[in-house]
Amino acid sequence: MTSLKTKSLEKIEGKMVGIDEESIRYKVLLNAKNFKTSWIELGQSLYSVYKDKLYKDWEFLTFDAYTAKEIGIKKTTAMKLLQSYYFLEKEEPTYLMKRKEAAEADDAATVPTYEAVNVLRAAKNKKIDEVEYAKLKRDVLENGKDAVEVKRDLSTIMKQREEDEPEEARRKKKVQTIRRFLSTLKTLKRDIEMSKLVPSSIIKETSALINKIELELGREEE
């Protein structure tokens, strides 16, 4: 989703009528109207609404209901906007400051999509090499690279890291296998407990096995 449909824009404009133009509610609606070019401002406004639960003051029970009914944005889009904005605020405050200064000076600036920023956030969470992250950051924040391309670049980086660190890749695969087995075993234990057809001794042995596997998983994840 890169812009709101005309019908949605008309609804938003209708809701803006009669609302104090200095209020945050009006500001969010205005940001939503200009969503394509000002998603960062919309993300900032929505973050305030979400954090302080302001939607309750406007008679909405949940944040999801507010975004869907008031500004016509789906839950998944709203959460990506929140995450992408919060990521910039926390990890790239310098970028936000430069962008604000450029806007005040009426200078044209490349605005990255929130999808691309969300990929950059994922890259940061994966703790990739600083040099590689710096390149991705330039591609997203300075060059406005498309999210699909950035995601492809990140996948290439992760694949290369696994090839450079085969032991780590094997360890991760082992951990994933243990987790799947543990999940299956826990489900099986619940089923046999509910059936009441299996001797308690077997249930105890199954519980002991689960404990041993959890300990092994803990050691592997250290």
Give CA–CA dist 222/219, Å, rounded.
Answer: 5
Average pLDDT on 105-112 reads 61
CB atoms within 10 A of CB 159: 11
Average pLDDT on 116-124 reads 92
Return the domain boundaries, the chain: 6-91, 110-164, 166-221
pLDDT classification of 73: cutoffs 50, 70, 90: confident
CB 207 within 8 A of CB 189: yes
pLDDT for 135 beyond 70: yes
Give CA–CA dist 151/132, Å, rounded.
Answer: 13
pLDDT for 82 beyond 50: yes
pLDDT classification of 109: cutoffs 50, 70, 90: low
Average pLDDT on 140-147 reads 88
CB atoms within 10 A of CB 12: 19
Give CA–CA dist 53/68, Å, rounded.
Answer: 15
pLDDT classification of 130: cutoffs 50, 70, 90: confident
pLDDT classification of 103: cutoffs 50, 70, 90: low
Instruction: Write b or e for each residue in 98-127: b if 16 or more Cβ atoms lie within 10 A of its Cβ, otherwise e.
Output: ebeeeeeeeeeeeebbbbbbbbbbebbeee
Per mean pLDDT, which of 63-67, 101-105, 106-110 is the most reliable? Answer: 63-67
Report pLDDT for 100. Answer: 77
Q: pTM higher than 0.85 for the full model?
A: no
Give CA–CA dist 188/156, Å, rounded.
Answer: 38
CB 128 within 8 A of CB 157: yes
- 6 vs 167, higher pLDDT: 167
